[in-house]
Chain A
């Protein structure tokens, strides 16, 4: 069955450093991958979309890569700030389905 793994349940990063989150998947060939941010007690908020024929996307301090050979996406936040602390979800989509990972709780330490 399709499986998504996000590297760790929680990640602590010092303010100002780059935070790198990993999303690995198996038994699936997604047409696209999305990253969402979720704050406690709130719904997810869309951040970035990357399609299967794209290697990298950037938006301000965010960068996402997509390696369909490794079946992996990396999500980077540069110059991290305490306000970036949240849970980040990766989601894989294709046809009419989209499936979500469990998320990684990111803590940016001041």
Chain B
């Protein structure tokens, strides 16, 4: 149980275009989802916390107008990278915790999206 699905797994786009990444909780409802970015040989860095029905909370240094997050339902959050540039090329991963579990319960991650901006 507690499966998180992410789509697409890989995407290549041209500089200046926008890319949308979807994160779905398949067998549980997630009022909160987390979006991370991971550069090669670096740690997972939290970008933002997505909240169903309300605005996302962004970490310091993350541009909210560039990384648009929409959490329109209890099972779907989307991250849109707008006006992508080569420096946005990275591995983007979402995660969620099933409801009713403790605050120290494990995060369930999607399989990530490898974004390459040419």
- The 0/1 profile, CB within 8 Å of B marked 1, for residues 86-110 of chain A is 0001000100101111110000000
Contacts of A43 in B (CB 8 A): 4, 6, 93, 95, 109-112
Whether, in the assembled complex, A44 has its beta carbon less than 8 Å from a beta carbon of chain B, the answer is: yes
List CB contacts (< 8 Å) of B70-108 with chain A: 91, 93, 95, 103-108
Which candidate, A45-53, A61-69, A73-81, is the interface stretch facing chain B? Answer: A45-53
A42 to B110, CA, bound (A): 8
B104 lies within 8 A of A49 (CB): yes
Chain A, interface residues (CB within 8 Å), range: 20 to 34
Knowing A31-B104, A43-B95, the reply to whether A100 touches B44 (Cβ < 8 A) is yes
A34 lies within 8 A of B106 (CB): yes
A45 to B: closest C-beta gap in Å: 7
Interface residues of B, CB < 8 Å — how many? 23
Q: Is the interface of B mostly helix, strand, loop or mixed?
A: loop
A89 lies within 8 A of B43 (CB): yes
Contacts of B45 in A (CB 8 A): 100
Whether, in the assembled complex, A32 has its beta carbon less than 8 Å from a beta carbon of chain B, the answer is: yes
B109 lies within 8 A of A49 (CB): no
B104 lies within 8 A of A41 (CB): no
List CB contacts (< 8 Å) of B14-35 with chain A: none
Q: Which of B4, B42, B103, B105 contacts A102 (CB 8 A)?
A: B42
A46 lies within 8 A of B107 (CB): yes
A98 to B108, CA, bound (A): 13
A49 to B106, CA, bound (A): 8
21 A-B pairs within 8 Å (CB atoms) are namely A9-B41, A32-B104, A41-B91, A41-B111, A42-B112, A43-B4, A43-B93, A43-B109, A44-B44, A44-B109, A46-B106, A49-B104, A49-B105, A49-B106, A89-B43, A98-B46, A99-B46, A100-B44, A101-B43, A102-B42, A103-B43
- Chain A residues proximal to chain B, CB less than 8 Å: 4, 9, 31-32, 34, 41-46, 49, 51, 89, 93, 96, 98-103
